[in-house]
Amino acid sequence: MMLPSDAILTRLSGLHPKKIDLSLGRIGGLLARLGDPRRRLPPVVHVAGTNGKGSTIAFMRAMLEAAGQRVHVYTSPHLVRFHERIRLAGTLVEEARLAAALEECERLNAGEPITLFEMTTAVAFKLFAETPADALLLEVGLGGRYDATNVVDRPLASVITPVSIDHVEFLGDTIEKIAFEKAGIIKRGAPLIVAAQDPAARAVIEREAERLRAPARFGGQDFDAREERGRLVFEDNDGLLDLPPPRLAGRHQILNAATAIATLRAAWPDVTPAAIEQGLLAADWPARLQRLTRGALVDLVPPGAELWLDGGHNAAGGVALGEAMADLDARAPRPLVLVCGTLATKDTTGLLKPFAGLARRVLCVPIGGEHAGRPAAEVVEAARRAGLAASETGSVSAALREIAAEDWPSPPRVLIAGSLYLAGEVLAENGTPPR
């Protein structure tokens, strides 16, 4: 069912000839006509990076809410409904408020060229300014330096999660160029928290932090976390925390949790270890190593099989996913099968290489909708270049039926991955959208 906001968003998507056109001028003009809501936001933590932004924000949100704070969140893209992008004081934006804000911004923009992300960022800022809260966790859409969210010039803190190669058509084709764009969110004098990085990326970020005199805390140097006897041990210059393991699955989530904890200890030093512990256990971030345990698609897999979903879509994401699947196999061995669909702009072979020798095979599917999906036949070729047996099938549900028809020595472990857009399709078809 199409909602009023869906119709408005469709209309607004035609205001600019490009889906992505990195600039701060258009959104700055619209925000001025809105009365500059960016000046009335609660304290902002601005988060950039290639991987881990959303998970780091999910941990921070859960910890702050455990401390009794009201938290706004802005993330992208959404999985099933646009409303997932805007969380107002803990609750996804209501349809009536979203539609009204979209209409007002459309009226004030008066038909001027503006990208959809710029427009919806202005909408989010308007809603955040109108709704009382104690914090705003603000995720960069793409890059950082010229991303629409970077009109915030006085953040409480800036965060850069791991930087790797992605979006080369917009950010550059080297880790140094991409890190420079991410480092564009660093603001003079504002605390900076940086996850453990590739040395080349760290050098660029460190140079920008020094230039802007932003006091920086670097993962692996000023803070760190490790798994020890089933616990998460976090350590920084303020001491050591002995914590439960994160609710979010995967070895990489220890890094994301550490970045979240380090940020809170820099920006909100009064947040207690008890709130941090509660947040680790409560954090929720759909389609990031999410185990699906009920729903229409779950009913298609063989009895006793595991069905996992992840939106990982680049080489670094593939490494994290491969490690997570290897860890699961070490604890409870099962045949692993991948169901994969990717966008045409992504390094599909790089994504799948970590699964060589780990996955039995890959069932390659198309991504629906208007996204630039890579044809399933091309995903097959990429998987074979990665050293994997692969075949093409028409849909995720068809792939799961094919898996169910096989004779397995033990119930398989099925991982659906390759794109957040594919993950959104899966959650919608399964009947388990984010809430």
What domains does the chain contain, in order, with CATH numbers? 4-282 (3.40.1190.10), 290-430 (3.90.190.20)
> What are the tokens at 325?
């699947």
Mean pLDDT, rounded, for 228-234: 94
Rounded to two decimals, the pTM is 0.94
Q: DSSP characters for 328-344?
A: HHHHS---EEEEE--BT
Q: Looking at residue 1, what is its pLDDT? A: 67
Give residue 370's pLDDT band: very low, low, confident or very high (50, 70, 90): low
Strand order in the sheet with 223-228: 223-228, 231-236, 239-243
Alpha carbons 130 and 153: distance in angstroms, whole number: 19
- What Å distances lie between residue 300 and 37, 187, 304, 402, CA to CA? 48, 50, 11, 9
| Segment 384-410, tens digit of pLDDT | 999 999 999 999 999 999 999 999 999
Q: Contact at 8 Å (CB) between 339 and 429? A: no
| Lowest-confidence segment of 218-232, 367-381, 416-430 by average pLDDT | 367-381
Q: Looking at residue 369, what is its pLDDT? A: 75
Instruction: Give me the helices (H) in 110-245, please.
Output: 116-130, 168-171, 175-182, 199-211
Give residue 117's pLDDT band: very low, low, confident or very high (50, 70, 90): very high
Please report the sign of the dihedral spanned by the C-alpha atoms of residue 258, residue 250, residue 279, residue 297: positive
| Segment 345-354, tens digit of pLDDT | 889 999 999 9
| Segment 71-86, tens digit of pLDDT | 999 999 999 999 999 9
Give residue 321's pLDDT band: very low, low, confident or very high (50, 70, 90): very high
Mean pLDDT, rounded, for 176-204: 96
Residue ranges with strand state E in 69-177? 71-74, 86-88, 91-92, 135-139, 157-160
